[in-house]
Amino acid sequence: MLVEVRVQELGLDNSNKTPVVLLQELQGERVLPIWIGPSEARAIAVQMAEIPFPRPLTHDLFCSLLRGLGGTLQKVIVTRVEGGTYYAQLLVERNGEVFSVDARPSDSIAVALRANARVFVDDELLEADTIEISEGEETPQGLPFAATEEGNGPGPVDMGPEELKEHLQRLAPEDFGRFNP
């Protein structure tokens, strides 16, 4: 089952200064952290902050090319994680046909923000890799470990799902830093 999410925040993992994008489900409190590269984090941050640039950035160029070819981005889906690597799909519609393009979640999110497309996550990822933010609680700005898009996460891969969940629930907001583009 797919769950619609939004970019809750960009954080910075204080242990290794790696950017983290936090995806929060629209109809709940679960948050999926995905470690991403600094360039992709900047692309997401720039769009979220609505910072104008005189020339198109890479993700802007992609959107322009897609429109020029008669396509529209229908939605983005973060589909799975394998060996610590997250996978996503861009679902593009062109001439009544919908096709899927494999992409990294960070690039997919940067494009979705520019194209005003919805972002979805497979519910199994939210069940396995999420943290929960209670009403009124400050959102964490980074996490000390987990999978990354490229499978080279900073963290202990020997933690099981329950141990990881317990560790994430013990984290305090002051354990995190803010990502600044």
DSSP letters for 117-152: -EEEEEHHHHHHH-EE--TTPPPPS--S---BTTS-
pLDDT (0 to 100) of residue 29: 87
Q: Give the pLDDT of residue 157.
A: 35
pLDDT at 172 over 50: no
Instruction: Evaluate the CA torsion angle 109, 1, 25, 85 in order and state its sign.
Output: negative
Answer yes or no: are the C-beta atoms of 20 and 148 closer than 8 Å: no
pLDDT(131) > 50: yes
What is the third-level CATH fold of 2-178?
Answer: Bifunctional nuclease domain (3.10.690)
If you compute the radius of gyration of the chain from its CA atoms, what whole number of angstroms results?
16
3-state secondary structure of 14: coil
| pTM (predicted TM-score) | 0.74
Q: Which residue has the higher pLDDT, 2 or 12?
A: 2
**Per-chain mean pLDDT for the chain:** 79
pLDDT at residue 9 is higher than 70:
yes
